[in-house]
Structure 1
């Protein structure tokens, strides 16, 4: 075998594995060809060491290993633009994701599908894949009819390898094109058939605004079509307590929802679970995922629709959200690391029909994070079997090179510019 990730690598000495389908008591993972080749017990590690060059053996005591994060909502070529051309946000770089433990992304267009194009989104996916991580995309944007490369939703999903579905179609938002129930139904049917033809998820990823209609446009679309509720995947469902209640109702009808990382996502998960019997927590959480919305704009509008604040979402918020959900749990919640981790790994992977992502198992992609056991600090990242982040370094893309990671105390002391 030739190419990146083809050398054998051995990760050993960790104290636990999370997200490993019930595997327990193993302390070694053998990687090669970008895949997980074996999960090893103590007695098997010595034999594996004879096969692996000593420079490719990494021992990580007092650490837990997890799958790499799967981020299904990222503006990989930038987003924004609500405050004019100068407010368009910058493109992502490889190191931004790897430093945050994100090894798989799904790129998306938002408000701007005029200066941001689907062709550029496809090209950026190819670049990130060549650089060493995994990237897919959604065709379309806020606008209806959705922007595509081939001229149809079915064509994009079926013929473009990186296209998994259509989104983020905006509803209940003053920036949407106010799609009718029939228009949404047609989009869902197109995506469903495209997914069938291409062996893809074929989902409709829906941007939820704060409009009073909330999820009603999606319920209306379901009535106007024969597609199941699982065809729609609404995101930004953490915006306010009322929308979180709508998320719970959507789940009770069999649907799935996505939250955007941050303090509101933390509060939304607590609201979703508290007051519900603990035996129902697992079924609720299985219908949820959390994404970063990174490199997208975070505009704040007043009651008159005027823009009053403008920021950019960052990839690191996803990992920070994971830490807070596990380490700073609300009273009354007792979520395991596997419970929390699933929101960022196996749940989005399953919704996207990516069976080789989101878990640590033989045959899966070798996307692995090494975290400290006590505080879940990120130490090492493997993507496609390659070591791409250490405590002091992260791999860069073609034009950024590798760079040092500044200690957190320095990062926190630098004033924003």
Structure 2
């Protein structure tokens, strides 16, 4: 190995590491190399030995900071989205630095409304680019419409043969932009995804865009009732839209299902609403939720007649801001003895929960042998300081790694080999 790939990093001086597996006391230092977490070090003798083992060891001393796993964002329009207001309203494609500045080290790309000018082939190519750039990227086959668009001609084929394909989505339900899929169509898609996931060793989920229609989750309930597909095969997102939909999310979780919220103030309200509704089952409800950014997708607002009245673009940093707000809330409301576990449960919404739903055992946790995706946050404000992705230092307070053609005062463009 040469260059950056050969570096060993020794992270030390931090106050606490969260997301440890197995759970236990925080190590004194963590050794990273070859893209993975190599060892936990527990005393000064081990640290001194690690520092002197090779000239390639780089030491990062971060007093007053905490370590967390990199964020796992399961819903990102990596090649852009939108288009509801015509061609000029198509949103721009993502950039590497946008993810790193948000602490996102794993993304899952998705198509939304537009599957005419935005295609699966472009999605797969962008995944390859982001993986080459240094983070981890997957994608969902299909888009809003049914039947889902695929590359190989079938859902099973994509899950088996396209490396970055992890499931199907975002299929639109209870939304005026959906193709009004029937329960039988939804059940067939779920069955195809389930078998494809088995054959390809993938999650094989059906990621469902939930609109504000009156039917809410009923189409998915009907699909489950007429088939042998388990409720866990569907992962509905945007479940924070209104209190009624959050109540539907609670019922869905009570049946064993999982839900995803889109980062923002409504996601914070949704989490609070769930926990207030089930104060004795908070751990269960938090374990069955995740939060994603919907970044680079459009945020259209429609009136009661379906007319577009407002149009914005979702930002990756909203995911980081949402996490920071929840962590601050946890610290301010939990007692001293409960603070660690409360913070860890909120953190899991952005890390271990989506990683588990997507069946990515190397992600969402800090464990020996797992991918070295690590964030260094200020222990008081939770401000992002450093980002490691697959063992490489990709962001500091002074600079951030960008794609080959990104430019800016803080951006270091990735050199093409």
Q: Which TM-score tier does this pair reach, normalised by the shorter chain?
A: over 0.9
Structure 1 vs Structure 2 CA RMSD: 1.6
- With over 3 angstroms needed to count, the CA separation of the structure-2 counterparts of 1:220 and 1:330, relative to structure 1, is farther
Deviations 1:225-276 (A, max 9, x none): 1110000000000000000000000000000000000000000000000142
1:109-120 pair list within 5 angstroms = 109-120=111-122
Asked if residue 359 in structure 1 is aligned to residue 365 in structure 2, the reply is yes
Normalised to the residue count of structure 2, the TM-score between the two structures is 0.94
Deviations 1:379-412 (A, max 9, x none): 000001110000121000111157418xxxxxxx
State which of 251, 254, 264 in structure 2 corresponds to 1:252: 254
Unaligned runs of 5+ in 1: 406-417
Deviations 1:115-173 (A, max 9, x none): 00000000000000000100000000000000100000000011111000000000000
State which of 149, 158, 161 in structure 2 corresponds to 1:159: 161
Contact 2:8 2:57 in 1 (8 A): no
1:219-238 pair list within 5 angstroms = 219-238=221-240
Q: What is the deviation of 1:42?
A: 2.3
- With over 3 angstroms needed to count, the CA separation of the structure-2 counterparts of 1:85 and 1:338, relative to structure 1, is same
Q: What is the deviation of 1:328?
A: 3.2
Cα distance in 2, alignment partners of residues 220 and 112 from structure 1: 27
Q: What is the deviation of 1:23?
A: 3.3
- 2:178 corresponding residue in structure 1: 176
- 1:19 corresponding residue in structure 2: 19
Asked if residue 337 in structure 1 is aligned to residue 343 in structure 2, the reply is yes
Contact 2:18 2:68 in 1 (8 A): yes
Cα distance in 2, alignment partners of residues 285 and 379 from structure 1: 26
Secondary structure of the 2:209 match is strand
Secondary structure of the 1:369 match is strand
1:101-116 pair list within 5 angstroms = 101-116=103-118
1:154-303 pair list within 5 angstroms = 154-278=156-280, 280-303=281-304
Secondary structure of the 1:110 match is coil
Secondary structure of the 2:310 match is strand
Secondary structure of the 2:301 match is strand
Asked if residue 383 in structure 1 is aligned to residue 389 in structure 2, the reply is yes
Secondary structure of the 2:5 match is coil
Contact 2:18 2:344 in 1 (8 A): yes
State which of 380, 392, 401 in structure 1 corresponds to 2:398: 392
- 2:134 corresponding residue in structure 1: 132
Q: What is the deviation of 1:55?
A: 6.9
Cα distance in 1, alignment partners of residues 222 and 380 from structure 2: 47
The size of the alignment, in residue pairs, is: 404
Contact 2:7 2:56 in 1 (8 A): no
- 2:414 corresponding residue in structure 1: none
- 2:96 corresponding residue in structure 1: 94
- 1:34 corresponding residue in structure 2: 35
Q: What is the deviation of 1:51?
A: 2.1
Contact 2:184 2:226 in 1 (8 A): yes
Cα distance in 2, alignment partners of residues 403 and 202 from structure 1: 41
Asked if residue 7 in structure 1 is aligned to residue 7 in structure 2, the reply is yes
Unaligned runs of 5+ in 2: 412-417
- With over 3 angstroms needed to count, the CA separation of the structure-2 counterparts of 1:301 and 1:70, relative to structure 1, is same
- 2:415 corresponding residue in structure 1: none
1:290-329 pair list within 5 angstroms = 290-328=291-329
- With over 3 angstroms needed to count, the CA separation of the structure-2 counterparts of 1:94 and 1:331, relative to structure 1, is closer
Secondary structure of the 2:248 match is helix
Cα distance in 2, alignment partners of residues 105 and 96 from structure 1: 12
